[in-house]
């Protein structure tokens, strides 16, 4: 059967590479990591050969079919389409045409990856390329860019004092080079080797509290007399390990009280992957109290002046500031606190990383992890809630 757009778009990586045929020699090769490549199998001079037509979705099904039809015309004329393709590349190079400029490959990589990112993250990456990379090496053939050439561009960013940004831009450039390598447009990725030659950047973690600081903190937090909605939001943030943005934009439809689960849709997650959060008894108690206050609205934490918008980004951190902990802890810092305590207690690292919605470096395994560890994470998060309660009860 011929392929259709839905079959191509929903093709997922499996344990081994597999193919989806479209007929006429054209097929989609699906790799374990989910990458999808257009290929065409044909015979010339009694030998079986293959042509590469690009990567989906940068190359659509219709475009791949057109490339197949063009190759068949070359075959019908008695020529080898693979050799004709090589000859055209050589002719373009001789005519001064830039083959596979870095900018072209980077834009293609960005189009391929950005559907999985948040809009803000995708925009930040493109702005960095347009400001700091494209003006210098955007028109250079990606296969010709040497390590020193890339290093000189990155050092221009460092010269502004933007060391963290230089590190991140190097990493993104590395992803573009890696994409060029797997798509046959480069043979070497120079970016990783430059790390030791750069000034380096030591990540500044969000301020966080250690276990021995928690009793005093919770004692002071009880003295807060401002908005009960924001206060319960702070407690839920601490009890669940969510990012502040994930919590603020929460909707009541995401909460399953019967099964004590909070399912956050992929559209609201940083890495565009749905996230299941097991809820402890304490977390459920806070949600039930909130239901009485904001249950009439879609949002759990509606804005004070506009109920169609969520509470402001600074709301929870303002609580910590008002009780005297400004600069000592942030909402995000409690993720670090949770991770530290749970690791010290010997809980499975995979459970902890999944609870914090960190990306699994094994892309196939990571697809399933958000549900795979629910039972273990449920026990772990109930232990953590009881642990925090013991501090609160001791003051």
Q: Does the annotation mark 88 as catalytic?
A: no
Do strands 36-44 and 47-56 pair parallel, antiparallel, or not at all (unpaired)?
A: antiparallel
Contact between 145 and 102 under an 8 Å Cβ cutoff? The reply is: yes
> Would you call 206 a catalytic residue per the annotation?
no
CA distance 35 to 199: 34
Given 270, 273, 289, 321, which residue is catalytic?
Answer: 270
**In whole angstroms, what is the distance from residue 97 CA to residue 235 CA?**
60
* Catalytic choice (332, 370, 377, 378): 332
307: Cβ contacts below 8 Å, ≥ 6 apart: 297, 299
Q: How many Cα neighbours within 13 Å face the side chain of 345?
A: 16
Question: Residues 110, 167, 170, 243: which is the catalytic one?
Answer: 243
Give the Cα separation of 34 and 113 in Å (integer). 11
Q: Is the dihedral of CA 373, 374, 379, 382 positive or negative?
A: positive
Whole-angstrom CA distances from 103 to 70, 133, 176, 384 are 27, 9, 10, 48
Q: Please count the other Cβ atoms lying within 10 Å of the Cβ belonging to residue 367.
A: 15
**Rounded-to-integer distance, Cα 64 and Cα 242, Å:** 42
136 a catalytic residue: no
| Annotation says 368 is catalytic | yes
Task: Say whether 243 is catalytic.
Answer: yes
Q: Name the DSSP class of 161.
A: T
**Annotated catalytic residue, options 7, 178, 358, 379:** 358
Q: Return d(Cα 112, Cα 128) in angstroms, integer.
A: 18
Q: How many helices (H) and strands (E) does the chain have?
A: 17, 7
How is residue 105 annotated by DSSP? H
Q: Based on the residue annotation, tell me whether 37 is a catalytic residue of this protein.
A: no
Catalytic residue among 206, 288, 365, 368: 368
Angle (CA) 322-328-331 rounded to 5° is 75
Q: Which of 103, 172, 335, 370 is catalytic?
A: 335
Q: Which residues are catalytic?
A: 243, 270, 332, 335, 358, 368
């Amino acid at each position: 059967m011929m392929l259709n757009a839905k079959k191509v778009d929903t093709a997922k990586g499996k344990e081994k590479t597999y193919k989806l045929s479209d007929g006429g020699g054209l097929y989609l090769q699906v790799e374990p990591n989910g990458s999808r490549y257009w290929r065409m199998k044909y015979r010339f001079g009694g030998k079986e050969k293959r042509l590469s037509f690009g990567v989906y979705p940068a190359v659509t099904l219709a475009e791949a079919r057109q490339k197949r039809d063009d190759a068949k015309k070359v075959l019908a004329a008695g020529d080898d389409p693979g050799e004709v393709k090589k000859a055209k590349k050589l002719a373009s190079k001789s005519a001064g045409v830039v083959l596979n400029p870095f900018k072209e490959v980077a834009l293609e990589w960005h189009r391929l990856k950005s559907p999985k990112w948040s809009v803000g993250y995708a925009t930040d990456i493109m702005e960095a390329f347009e400001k700091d990379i494209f003006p210098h090496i955007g028109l250079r053939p990606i296969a010709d860019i040497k390590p020193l050439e890339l290093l000189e561009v990155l050092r221009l960013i460092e010269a502004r004092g933007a060391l963290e940004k230089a590190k991140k831009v190097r990493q993104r450039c590395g992803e573009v080079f890696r994409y060029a390598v797997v798509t046959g447009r480069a043979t070497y990725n120079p970016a990783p080797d430059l790390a030791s030659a750069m000034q380096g950047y030591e990540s500044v973690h969000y301020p966080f509290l250690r276990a021995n600081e928690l009793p005093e903190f919770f004692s002071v937090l009880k003295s807060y007399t401002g908005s009960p909605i924001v206060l319960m939001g702070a407690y839920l943030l601490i009890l669940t390990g969510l990012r502040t943005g994930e919590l603020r934009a929460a909707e009541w439809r995401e909460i399953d009280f019967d099964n004590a689960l909070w399912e956050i849709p992929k559209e609201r997650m940083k890495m565009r992957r749905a996230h299941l959060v097991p809820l402890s008894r304490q977390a459920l108690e806070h949600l039930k109290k909130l239901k009485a206050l904001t249950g009439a609205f879609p949002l759990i934490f509606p804005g004070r002046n506009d109920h169609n918008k969520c509470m402001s980004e600074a709301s929870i951190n303002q609580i910590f500031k008002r009780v005297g902990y400004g600069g000592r802890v942030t909402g995000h810092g409690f993720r670090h606190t949770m991770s530290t305590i749970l690791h010290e207690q010997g809980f499975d690292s995979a459970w902890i990383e999944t609870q914090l919605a960190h990306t699994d470096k094994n892309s196939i395994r990571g697809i399933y992890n958000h549900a795979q560890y629910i039972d273990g994470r449920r026990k772990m998060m109930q232990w953590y809630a009881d642990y925090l309660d013991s501090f609160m009860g001791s003051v």
